[in-house]
Amino acid sequence: MKRKEVSTKSLTYALDAAKAGLTIQLGRKGYGGFASTHEMFGKLMEEVNELSEALHDNDQEQFIAELKDIIVAALFSLASIKSNTHDG
């Protein structure tokens, strides 16, 4: 089965949404990095669990919001690792 193509416009939307989400989160919580890989994993799992709930509730808007939260958590985790804020 051939998958439908994702448009450049949709990819641009996704990248812009990730940037906006990260900016909002930084405004709320600041730049203090994750202290451990366990904290990073815990945050990601929390967001994945919320994604699962949105799926079970058949709530597409909440599903989209949770996908954005996962992206932001993953990006900030990578930045935390790169900045060496974690315990390894």
C-alpha span between 65 and 72 (Å, rounded) = 11
- Rounded to an integer, the average pLDDT of 1-20 is 96
Segments forming the whole domain that contains residue 74: 8-82
* Closest among 80, 53, 79, 75 to 66, alpha carbons compared: 53
Number of structural domains (the chain) is 1
Q: What is the DSSP string of 17-76?
A: HHHHHHHHHHHHH-SPPPS-HHHHHHHHHHHHHHHHHHHHTT-HHHHHHHHHHHHHHHHH
- Considering the domain boundaries, does residue 1 fall inside one? no
Q: State pTM to two decimals.
A: 0.90
**pLDDT tens digits, residue range 32-70?**
999 999 999 999 999 999 999 999 999 999 999 999 999
Report the CATH number at residue 70. 1.10.287
